[in-house]
């Protein structure tokens, strides 16, 4: 984690916020000093939105407290320690141990995949942590590289961010229609709403091991529908780098949770690899019930029509809709919709300077993307490809109007709605509307105009041609023809010098399409060091965009 700013507030009369370490789904994480005990801690400041209703604000607070309680009851060397939960000016804060080091996702991004020995060591640590959590009746439900910290100097592995954890016997956000997670790391049974148990965390760990070994999630695709298909239907092809640990990876990624490798056996197999350099095969005997987690009635499998593999040529968007319908019949429709949404973006403009937005170099007119999943994309912005596979659906998908975890639905008076991260504020600039993070680090832009000659592709190409004039230091620009909701669209991606030399270069994702006689443009821009988070915001913005 790198510092991004300073605050120097003292909250609860005790904790001095000194440097921003990063932003998670629920808010900002600060490096702080506990002035009473004289020690460094991490403080998670929960983002609040004045537009939330009283009930929504209560739910957000309840979620904060649930995370703290879920983790505070756990004592394990590979689980983050929660020291305190405090209120300051009616805002909750979680005080945790400070881990000096970045996440596994940061390590993969900076240095590439890890070797089999390191992956096995990480797997053993996480399996041990999950065993302790499951025995205490706690499901993590968001296992992914970004939620695994690597302590500098010791390489201690620490599981963090229990923000959507489920505690046995407690009312959860699932039951209020806000079931969430990271699609690339979400077990197929959770996708369908059929079941949630310790096995689902183990599937996520299997996907994490593949990512650590190969540098990219095995279920990464260019659209949310593609991710759904990869997780639920498609044949799993393990990356070549997973060969040394293949029995464990395949056992954890077994689609049938009853046949999935359990934590104890997976840990034994990984320890055997660390000792001998060879991974023994998994036992063929059926797996016993795992640990001490007692499923509630809501956790038990529901009767539902069996899933049917998609027909040849069936669109990923159509498949997403079909899966949501299955989930609805299973009694979890809204939950599944929330799970499958993710995205982000910022890019500015229409190819013409705008006097009302002096801080915003111009981008193009309509930018919205049907693009990728919540990404573990490891390429640099200069070399990454804008891999947005065309959507072959001939009709727009039903609007998904439930915000993912850490987001809210913004109903904009300009005639549209979309999901934006909690804490982002609306900043209209002429004919463009922006939703921006604190300090303008991330900028989500939307523009609605009349159609222009040649359609979205021509519009984007004209904007790209003017890129050097409208975006200082414009480089690595590319325009890709794609679709949005079955309609022709174009994606423009580029890097430019940014707003200041202090901040450095920024990267922009920009999608444009026409719909019902109007042209829509949705984009996201962010510093080049934060393109993965920006791509997530962009994907969520595009996949939740609805004209109103």
- Catalytic residue positions, numbered: 142
Residue pair 193/302 in contact by the 8 Å Cβ criterion: yes
489: left (phi over 0), alpha (psi -120 to 50) or beta: beta
Q: How far apart are CA 343 and CA 541, in angstroms?
A: 5
CA distances from 446 to 427, 458, 477, 507 (A): 11, 19, 20, 16
Residue 343: name the closest of 373, 320, 386 by CA. Answer: 373
In angstroms, the CA 390 to CA 119 distance is 35
Measured CA distances, 29 to 37, 40, 99, 248 (Å): 20, 13, 12, 34
CB 43 within 8 A of CB 425: no
Among positive and negative, which fits the CA dihedral 443, 444, 450, 452?
Answer: positive
State the distance between the two ends of the chain, measured CA to CA, in whole angstroms. 39
CA distance 366 to 432: 10
Sheet-wide strand order for 475-484? 425-429, 432-436, 443-449, 518-527, 506-515, 487-496, 475-484
Under a CB-based contact definition with an 8 Å cutoff, are residues 344 and 538 in contact?
yes
């Amino acid at each position: 984690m790198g510092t991004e700013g300073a605050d120097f507030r003292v909250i609860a009369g005790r904790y001095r916020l000194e440097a921003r370490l990063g932003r998670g789904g629920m808010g900002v994480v600060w490096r702080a000093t506990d002035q009473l005990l004289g020690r460094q801690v991490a403080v998670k400041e929960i983002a609040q939105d004045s537009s939330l209703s009283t009930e929504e604000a209560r739910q957000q607070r309840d979620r904060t407290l649930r995370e703290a309680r879920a983790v505070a009851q756990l004592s394990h060397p590979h689980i983050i320690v929660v020291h305190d939960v405090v209120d300051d000016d009616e805002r909750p804060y979680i005080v945790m141990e400070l881990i000096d080091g970045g996440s596994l996702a940061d390590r993969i991004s900076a240095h590439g995949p890890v070797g089999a020995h390191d992956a096995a060591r990480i797997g053993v640590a996480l399996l041990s942590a999950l065993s302790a959590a499951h025995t205490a009746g706690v499901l993590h439900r968001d296992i992914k590289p970004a939620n695994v910290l690597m302590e500098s100097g010791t390489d201690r592995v620490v599981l963090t961010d229990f923000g959507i954890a489920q505690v046995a016997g407690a009312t959860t956000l699932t039951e209020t229609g806000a079931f969430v997670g990271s699609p690339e790391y979400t077990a197929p049974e959770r996708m369908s709403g059929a079941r949630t148990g310790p096995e689902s965390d183990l599937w996520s760990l299997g996907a994490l091991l593949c990512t650590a070994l190969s540098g990219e999630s095995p279920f990464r695709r260019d659209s949310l529908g593609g991710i759904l298909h990869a997780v639920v239907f498609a044949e799993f092809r393990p990356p070549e780098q997973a060969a040394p640990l293949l029995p464990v990876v395949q056992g954890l990624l077994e689609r049938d949770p009853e046949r999935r490798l359990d934590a104890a056996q997976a840990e034994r197999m990984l320890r055997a690899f660390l000792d001998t350099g060879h991974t023994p095969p998994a036992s063929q005997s059926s797996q016993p019930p795992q640990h001490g987690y007692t499923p509630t009635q809501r956790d038990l499998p529901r009767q539902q029509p069996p899933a049917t593999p998609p027909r040849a040529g069936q669109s990923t968007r159509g498949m997403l809709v079909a899966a949501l319908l299955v989930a609805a019949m299973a009694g979890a429709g809204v939950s599944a919709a929330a799970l499958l949404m993710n995205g982000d973006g910022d890019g500015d403009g229409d190819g013409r300077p705008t006097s009302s937005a002096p801080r915003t170099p111009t981008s193009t007119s309509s930018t919205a993307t049907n693009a990728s999943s919540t990404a573990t994309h490891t390429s640099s912005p200069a070399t990454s490809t804008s891999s947005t596979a065309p959507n072959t659906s001939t009709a727009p998908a039903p609007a998904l109007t439930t915000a993912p975890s850490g987001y809210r639905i913004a109903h904009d008076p300009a005639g549209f709605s979309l999901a934006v991260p909690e804490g982002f504020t609306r900043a209209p600039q002429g004919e463009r509307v922006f939703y921006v993070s604190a300090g303008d680090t991330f900028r989500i832009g939307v523009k609605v105009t009349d159609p222009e000659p040649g359609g979205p592709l021509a519009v984007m190409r004209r904007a790209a041609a003017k890129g050097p004039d409208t975006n200082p230091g414009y480089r690595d620009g590319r325009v890709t023809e794609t679709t949005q909701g079955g309609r022709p669209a174009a994606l423009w991606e580029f890097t430019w010098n940014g707003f200041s030399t202090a901040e450095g270069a920024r990267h922009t994702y920009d999608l444009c399409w026409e719909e019902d006689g109007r042209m829509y443009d949705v984009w996201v821009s962010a510093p080049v060091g934060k393109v993965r988070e920006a791509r997530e915001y962009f994907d969520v913005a595009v996949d939740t965009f609805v004209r109103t």
